[in-house]
Amino acid sequence: MLICVSRGSYSCGKAFAESLAEKLGCLCIGREELLDRATEAGVAAGKLEMACLRPRGMTERMILEREHFQAFSVAYLARRALDGPLVYHGRTGHLLLQNVPHVLRVRIVADMETRIRSVEQRLGLDRVKARRYIEDVEDDRRRWVRTFYNLDWDAAAAYDVILNCDHASVSNLAAAFCKMAELPEFQETPAARSTLEDLLLAGQCRMALAKDDRTFNASFQVRAEHGVVTVTYLPRHAEAAQGIPEILQGVQGVTRVLPAMAATRILWVQERFDISSPTFTNLLDLADRWEAAVELMRLTSTDGSPIVERAISADPLKPAERAATGGIEEDSAGDTAGDTQESADDGGLEQTFTELAKQNRAGGRSTVRGNVRSLVDAVDTTTPYSLVVVGDAFLDKGKAARVRMTRELGNALHERLRVAVIQADEMKEQYLFGPRQLLTMLVFFGITAAIFLAVFTHQRQVLEMLARPGTRWRVLSAVVVVLLVPFVAYSYGKATHYLLKLIRME
For Cα atoms 125, 127, 130, give the angle at the middle one, nearest 5 degrees: 55
- Per residue in 49-71, pLDDT (tens digit) is 776 666 555 666 777 888 888 89
End position of a domain, from candidates 261, 277, 299: 261
CATH of the domain at 177: 3.40.50.300
- The reply to whether 203 and 135 lie within a common domain is no
pLDDT over 60 (residue 410):
yes
Residue 333 inside a domain? The answer is no
- The reply to whether 68 and 183 lie within a common domain is yes
pLDDT over 70 (residue 323):
no
Q: What is the mean pLDDT of the chain?
A: 82
Per-residue pLDDT, averaged over 224-242, amounts to: 82
Residue 335 inside a domain? The answer is no
Residue 338 inside a domain? The answer is no
Per-residue pLDDT, averaged over 147-154, amounts to: 72
Answer whether 76's CB lies under 8 Å from 15's CB.
no
Answer whether 85's CB lies under 8 Å from 178's CB.
no
Answer whether 336's CB lies under 8 Å from 266's CB.
no
- Per residue in 111-129, pLDDT (tens digit) is 888 888 888 888 888 888 8
pLDDT over 90 (residue 268):
yes
- The reply to whether 181 and 102 lie within a common domain is yes
- The reply to whether 27 and 168 lie within a common domain is yes
Cα 238 from Cα 91, distance rounded (Å): 35
End position of a domain, from candidates 431, 464, 494: 431
- The reply to whether 288 and 420 lie within a common domain is yes
pLDDT of residue 358: 73
The domain in which residue 370 lies consists of 264-328+346-431
Per-residue pLDDT, averaged over 93-103, amounts to: 82
End position of a domain, from candidates 261, 291, 309: 261
Answer whether 67's CB lies under 8 Å from 203's CB.
no
The model's pTM: 0.64
pLDDT over 90 (residue 388):
yes
- The reply to whether 232 and 374 lie within a common domain is no
pLDDT of residue 426: 82
Answer whether 40's CB lies under 8 Å from 179's CB.
no
Answer whether 269's CB lies under 8 Å from 390's CB.
yes
Cα 410 from Cα 425, distance rounded (Å): 13
- The reply to whether 160 and 245 lie within a common domain is no
- The reply to whether 280 and 381 lie within a common domain is yes
Residue 321 inside a domain? The answer is yes
pLDDT of residue 379: 85
Say which residue, 341 or 66, is predicted with more confidence.
66
- The reply to whether 97 and 211 lie within a common domain is no
- Confidence at 340, pLDDT banded by 50, 70, 90: very low
pLDDT over 60 (residue 78):
yes
Residue 339 inside a domain? The answer is no
Query: Domain count of the chain?
Result: 4
pLDDT over 60 (residue 331):
no
Report which listed range, 324-338, 394-408, 490-504, is most confident: 394-408
Length of the chain: 506
* CA-based R_g, the chain, Å: 29
Residue 336 inside a domain? The answer is no
Any idea of the CA torsion for 275, 278, 281, 286, to the nearest 10 degrees? -130
pLDDT over 50 (residue 338):
no
Instruction: Please count the CA atoms within 13 angstroms of the CA of 335 that sit on its side-chain side.
Output: 18
pLDDT over 50 (residue 333):
no
Cα 399 from Cα 405, distance rounded (Å): 10
Report which listed range, 128-132, 182-186, 197-201, 286-290, is most confident: 197-201
CA distances from 69 to 6, 250, 317 (A): 18, 21, 15
- The reply to whether 157 and 208 lie within a common domain is no
pLDDT of residue 150: 67
Residue 340 inside a domain? The answer is no
> Which long-range contacts (C-beta less than 8 Å, at least 24 apart) are formed by 33-41?
34/73, 34/76, 34/77, 34/90, 37/72, 37/76, 38/69, 38/72, 38/73, 38/76, 38/327, 39/326, 39/327, 39/328, 40/326, 40/327, 41/72, 41/207, 41/327
- The reply to whether 478 and 412 lie within a common domain is no
- Per residue in 443-455, pLDDT (tens digit) is 999 999 999 999 8
Return the closest-CA partner of residue 89 out of 165, 3, 208.
Answer: 3
- The reply to whether 229 and 310 lie within a common domain is no
Say which residue, 79 or 328, is predicted with more confidence.
79
Say which residue, 461 or 48, is predicted with more confidence.
461
CATH of the domain at 237: 3.30.70
Say which residue, 263 or 87, is predicted with more confidence.
87
N- to C-terminal Cα separation, the chain: 43
